[in-house]
Amino acid sequence: MSAREYLDLIGLFMFPVLMIGLPVYGLCRRVPVYEKFVEGAKDGFSTAVKIIPYLVAILFAIAMFRASGALGFLQEGLRKPLSWVGMPPEVLPMAIVRPLTGSGSLAVLADMTKQYGADSILTKMAATIYGSTETTFYVIAIYFGSVNIRKIRHAMAAGIIADVSSILLSCWIIKWFFHP
């Protein structure tokens, strides 16, 4: 069996195992599963409502950046250097936006899914980048600021190194798994 066939087999059983296993585990631990589920759904809905303006704004900004030709110019200008490191220029918007904002990168991912299709290798790369990187600048601004940490030099460097390596590894691993 190939690696892809193993992943397909695992994926086939993952959802049913989680859908049955988590509630059973919660019930064994005497957790009111349904009440907690409803409470989480309420929190999720309120979070979704809160981020809608940010999603609209970032989608608008990306659309304007694309419509102006600046994104295409940047992608074409960086095509050769990006090919040296194995990164398609089409995933560059995700690589730029993800360290800045989670909701913005979700909007980029949604846009890429619409543009390239859910099963395209580019969308898979972008989704892997989304899942394997952090919103470094947001975390530093919000979390470090909330506890009055001012010396962020090493945290910033570590976050950027982690993001860059995650972006490159995401591209390489998806190519390895899904490239014919």
pLDDT tens digit sequence for 30-54: 999 899 989 988 888 887 777 677 6
Read out DSSP for the chain? --HHHHHHHHHHHHHHHHHHHHHHHHHHTT--HHHHHHHHHHHHHHHHHHHHHHHHHHHHHHHHHHHTTHHHHHHHHTHHHHHHHT--GGGHHHHHHTTT-HHHHHHHHHHHHHHH-TTSHHHHHHHHHHHH---HHHHIIIIIHHTT----HHHHHHHHHHHHHHHHHHHHHHHHHH--
Contact, 137 vs 99, CB < 8 A? yes
Q: What is the pTM of this model?
A: 0.66
pLDDT tens digit sequence for 115-142: 999 999 999 999 999 999 998 887 877 7
CA end-to-end distance (rounded Å), the chain = 16
**Residue 180: band (very low, low, confident or very high) from pLDDT cuts 50, 70, 90:** low
**Burial (Cβ within 10 Å: 0-12, 13-18, ≥19) of residue 95:** buried
Q: How far is it, in rounded angstroms, from Cα 25 to Cα 45?
A: 25
pLDDT at 56 over 80: no
What is the number of other CB atoms lying within 10 angstroms of the CB of residue 15? 9
pLDDT at 172 over 90: yes
Provide the residue ranges of all domains of the chain, joining segments of one domain with +. Answer: 54-178
Mean per-residue pLDDT of the chain: 87
pLDDT tens digit sequence for 94-109: 998 898 888 888 888 9
Quote the percentage of the chain above a pLDDT of 70: 97
Q: Which residues, including other chains, have CB under 8 Å from residue 102's CB and lie 6 or more apart?
A: 135, 138
Phi-psi region of 31 (alpha: psi -120 to 50; beta: other; left: phi over 0): beta
